[in-house]
Structure 1
Amino acid sequence: MTHPIERAAPIARVTLQDVAREAGVSLATVDRVLNRRPGVREKTAARVQSAIARLGYRPDPVAARLARKETFRFCFILPTGTNTFMRILEEQVGATADWLLGQRAFIDILHVDVFDAEALATALEGLDPRYSGVAVVALDHPRVRAAIDDLVERGIAVVTLVSDAPTARRLRYVGIDNTAAGRTAATLIGRFSGGRKGTVAVIAGSLALRDHTERQFGFTQVLGSEYPHLTAVLAGESRDDAAQAQRLTESVIAAHPELVGIYNVGAGNRGVAAALEGAGKARDVIFVGHDLTPHSRRFLLRGIMDAVINQDPGHQARSAARILLAHCTGEPIVAEQERIGIDIFVRDNLP
């Protein structure tokens, strides 16, 4: 015999009216005490504070902003181009914007060529002063860092997203530990190689992007120290373009007949896969790349890619928005909630 599930009644939020009733004072008196305005006797203020403590009253920040007719507007600066992960990230930013509406906060999206330091810095320098905060896929370049610092000086909080500029005065970096991601890629290729000797090609999106340089550093660090039978070579920079990634892969296949593996540091997995298939090397060369997209999922299922190192774009979009909103409202940040983890996907554990 089944029994109906008894659901607890929702706990009602304690209101200012409840505090006033408990303290035996008017609503206006409670408001004056909470906002530290004069005109309340010390004993009365103490009675109100005691009622607040007994009832566990917590101010409703959204209601307070509504009463003050206060809103926040954030700008998310995302890359131009055909990077599928960035398009997914943009979709998640849009979904986050829907949530923020209920918090009386709004998101605008600005597309910029983040590989171009001058273009990115110019976009940052020209941002409307009405913005309360900015989330930017950053380029670690002196002019970009200066532009970030200028925004902070003007009272606009800055969060770096996916790629960091750590010496700038940004509020926080939202993204994975990219050195650890590169080390992970080296471990995967090293173990998958089964002791075969040869070359592992590294294709970077741009060595001007901090996340790409950190991934490459972590990769070569582990490969050189733990897998001496493998030699890493830099094939070049693809600028996250699939056609350029294909050309680089074709060149490295031709130049290194002993090629054991390819680590694609950025986007452009479609180009790498096309070159491997075209050369008949899809089953012979270990291929590890980043970000689970419809394309990389298909390559895993077909056995062209061996592993994908993933970062959750939805988590990143929500985290950046939460951090900017918390900064504006003075609310605490839960550090563990905002930590972006590294996922490893192979064909057999695809979600």
Structure 2
Amino acid sequence: MGAGDAGIIGAGVVGRATLERATLEDVARAAGVSLATADRVVNRRDGVRDKTIARVEAAVSRLGYRADPAAARLARNQNFRFLFVLPSGANSFMTMLGEQVARTAEWLAAQRAFIDVEHVDVFDADALARVLEGVLPGYHGVATIALDHPRVRAAIDDLTDRGVPVVTLVSDVPSARRLHYVGIDNPAAGRTAATLMGRFLQGRHGVVAVVAGSLSLRDHAERLYGFNQVMAREFPDLIMLPVVQGRDDNEQTLAATAALLRQHADLVGLYNAGAGNRGIAAALQQAGRAQEIVWIAHELTPHTRRFLLHGDIDAIISQDPGHEARSAARVLLAYCSGDRLVADQERIGIDIFLRDNLP
């Protein structure tokens, strides 16, 4: 083997070494300090001389060291447990969200953090509040679909006073002292739905019906606020009917939609700010009016996808349940670990799906 070959092999070894992630032990060795001292400097704890801090920080910079929070928790025998409070019932989007929470739990376990799930009727303020009031000691954070109700707000504030951070998920309670809201900008989603409705109905006259699960859910109320804003300002020739509430239940929403169709022969548009879309589809099909009424819905699920493909739904305003589940977990984990959040990473986008751009 010639000198040139030796040089190539040597360069390869160095290359492999530099690709390996530096450890805290590497930092301590490079700075000429003990592992305990390196740990104190990296974690900003007192009791280390300025000259030593400078040596450790220089080694961190030179080696490109990045702390591994999971390894740090393992060294301290530390773990976290979070409770996710999700709706009971057959809401397809919430079922998808639950599936994504289960997938997130698998990722979180590798971070030495764990998720428990409890289901409750979120339309029942007392039932939801009882679950939040009964959160057992040992939980380090809670993520919940929230109902904007005094008892629910008080339960969130009580958890905060106990040192348990609360993340609201999909539907917010901004007046409570929750840590963070994970969800879309709902007034903007409603405005988007109204713009689509008005443009799809351009040149037609008649009435537009609005269906919500419950106006006690802030996400539904905010969507309706945004929808009404744009309809009143930009499409005054379309007459808005009073809101119908179906509790996101297919049977109740079917009955409510069927009544609207019987009472309003001039119904030209329908906006559903919540769930219960199977009920709406059944009512429209039974009345033979599925293709003549412009229908804007929320959330891309297996059912709404089929209705969109068949031409029953004209557009879907959607949010990513996987992004939301992961974001809620990241927010709670970052808070408990003292890590910094990346705001752009946690921003939930509004998706618009037509038949032509389905993923």
Is the TM-score greater than 0.5?
yes
What is aligned with 1:100? 108
Partners in 1 of 2:269 and 2:163 — Cα distance? 47
Q: Counterparts in 2 of 1:10-21, with a 5 A limit?
A: 11-21=19-29
Whether 1:180 aligns to 2:192 is no
Which one-letter code corresponds to 1:233 in the other structure?
Answer: L
Counterparts in 2 of 1:10 and 1:105: CA distance versus 1, 3 Å = farther
Match of 2:197 in 1: 189
Give the TM-score taking structure 1 as reference length: 0.94
CA distance 1:136–1:198, shift in 2 (3 Å): same
- Aligned residue for 2:325? 317
Q: Distance in 2 between matches of 1:103 and 1:204?
A: 38
SS in 2 for 1:303: coil
Paired with 2:81 and 2:355, the residues of 1 have a C-alpha distance of: 41
Q: Distance in 2 between matches of 1:171 and 1:40?
A: 33
Aligned to 1:217: 225
**Equivalent residues in 2 for 1:312-351 (5 A)?**
312-351=320-359
- Per the alignment, residue 38 of structure 2 pairs with 30
Cα gap change, 1:274 to 1:16, in 2 (>3 Å): same
CA distance in 2, matches of 1:211, 1:230: 24
Corresponding residue number in structure 1 for 2:80: 72
Match of 2:277 among 269, 281, 286: 269
Deviations 1:259-298 (A, max 9, x none): 0111011000000010001001011111111001111011
Q: How does 1:1-351 map to 2 (within 5 A)?
A: 11-34=19-42, 43-351=51-359
Q: Distance in 1 between matches of 2:113 and 2:315?
A: 38
Separation of aligned partners in 1, 2:283 and 2:47: 77
2: CA distance, partners of 1:88 / 1:9: 43
User: Which residue identity lines up with residue 100 of structure 1 in the other structure?
Assistant: L
Partner Cα distance (1:254, 1:120) in 2: 36
CA distance in 1, matches of 2:261, 2:141: 45
* RMSD of aligned alpha carbons: 1.8
Q: Report the AA paired with residue 140 of structure 2.
A: S
Pair 127,21 (structure 1): closer, same or farther in 2 beyond 3 Å: same
Deviations 1:98-130 (A, max 9, x none): 000110000000001110111111110000121
1:27, distance to aligned residue in structure 2 (A): 3.0
TM superposition shift of 1:31? 3.8
CA positional deviation for 1:14: 1.4
Greater shift in the superposed pair: 162-171 or 11-20: 11-20
Structure-2 separation of matches of 1:10 and 1:213? 55
Q: Does 272-281 or 34-43 show the bigger shift? A: 34-43
- Matches of 1:134 and 1:182 in 2, distance apart? 28
Aligned partners of 1:39, 1:176: CA distance in 2, in Å? Answer: 45
Identity %: 65
Counterpart-to-counterpart distance in 1, 2:135 and 2:217: 22
Shift of 1:97: 0.2
5+ residue gaps, structure 2: 1-14
Determine the C-alpha separation between the residues in 2 that align with 1:31 and 1:228: 65
Match of 2:8 in 1: none
Q: 1:104 to 1:223 in 2, by over 3 A?
A: same
Q: Deviations over 1:156-185 (max 9, x none)?
A: 010000000001001111001110111111
Shift of 1:255: 1.0
CA distance in 2, matches of 1:51, 1:44: 11
Residue deviations 1:60-106 (CA, integer Å, cap 9, x gap): 21111001110000111000111010000000000000000110000
User: For the residues of structure 1 that align with 2:270 and 2:305, how far apart are their CA atoms?
Assistant: 17
**Cα gap change, 1:204 to 1:9, in 2 (>3 Å):** farther
What's the TM-score, normalizing by structure 2?
Answer: 0.92
Task: Give the drift of 1:148.
Answer: 0.2
Please give the alpha-carbon distance, in whole angstroms, between the structure 1 residues aligned to 2:308 and 2:278.
12
The number of residues matched between the two structures is 345
Q: Which runs of 5+ in 1 are unaligned?
A: 1-6
